[in-house]
Structure 1
């Protein structure tokens, strides 16, 4: 009596493709994560320039907890000059992107906090990449968001490898 094959050829290909997809995504995220962290740590050595707050974009809606809670944040747009060339930026930090605030419960709170923390026209210090002055931040160094790509990569990569290890146990079907 023969034991029926538990998987069809299509199912086998799906598992193999999924394993390859996880490995590819995991490797890409890991590589990006390493370079992103390297850039974040390098930002500690970036030179500074005097900048000016040009705008506060608030309130920006952000959903948390699967959309069950609404929070609001603000972003800062700033101008700065490097070697007599004017630049505009809105990145707060590497890993946090342009979000310059913690979440607020109301739009009014976010707007008020943004205007208090960064009054329009006020002077600020901007840190820029000396190799690419268009890349600038208000806060240097890594943060939780800077580690996210590497952590996700180090999760997906072993999951893909695990699927590949399980694949031979599925008994590749004929045909």
Structure 2
């Protein structure tokens, strides 16, 4: 019987560790995204744009097969001092989506030849974004981390409740 309780506590600890790791990583990503608003700006030019399609597998429990995810690839160039830099990062955080219209809207905002304001990291000017600040998807990992923590605590309380009845 004590082996079962040790396994339950072990799984709770694993869920809690994964939850804390995801929560910390998610908050760090969100913090970094929020800092992009204060980055200096440089004038840049959109070189090319394209819509990428990625096939992602769907778990068997959800019907299997594949699902198409879309991504806007914006290639732009800018200069910091005498250094000419190229990038394709629109914003920090996840950019793939299953909503093709959202990608089309992003592509419509950035036309080849268009002049754009590029925000760049002053410590590493090769790190840049076209869209600064936080976006809802920036909190995805943090939210999943909180869910794992809630599951770990819930499993522990349920195990203690059952132990009290045995």
**TM-score by structure 1 length?**
0.71
The question of 1:45 aligning with 2:38 is answered yes
The question of 1:157 aligning with 2:153 is answered no
| Bigger proportion of residues as helix | 2
Tell me the equivalent position of 1:136: 128
Q: Secondary structure at the match of 2:142?
A: helix
Q: How many residues align?
A: 157
User: 1:32 Cα deviation (Å)?
Assistant: 1.4
User: 1:49 Cα deviation (Å)?
Assistant: 0.9
Alignment of 1:113-132 (within 5 A): 114=107, 116-132=108-124
Ranges in structure 1 where 5+ consecutive residues have no aligned partner:
none
2:83 to 82, 85, 89: 85
Tell me the equivalent position of 2:8: 15
Query: Residues of 1 paired with 2:146 and 2:106: CA distance?
Result: 37
User: 1:145 Cα deviation (Å)?
Assistant: 0.8
- Cα deviations by residue, 1:88-118 (Å, 9 ceiling, x for unpaired): 2212112344x5x88327xxx94x973x432
Query: Residues of 2 paired with 1:59 and 1:40: CA distance?
Result: 23
1:103 to 66, 87, 99: 99
Ranges in structure 2 where 5+ consecutive residues have no aligned partner:
none
Query: Residues of 2 paired with 1:145 and 1:40: CA distance?
Result: 11
Query: Residues of 2 paired with 1:168 and 1:75: CA distance?
Result: 51
Q: CA RMSD in A?
A: 3.2
**TM-score by structure 2 length?**
0.74
Query: Residues of 1 paired with 2:40 and 2:98: CA distance?
Result: 26
- Cα deviations by residue, 1:24-79 (Å, 9 ceiling, x for unpaired): 1110111112222221221111111111212213242466x966875644221212
Query: Residues of 1 paired with 2:150 and 2:68: CA distance?
Result: 35
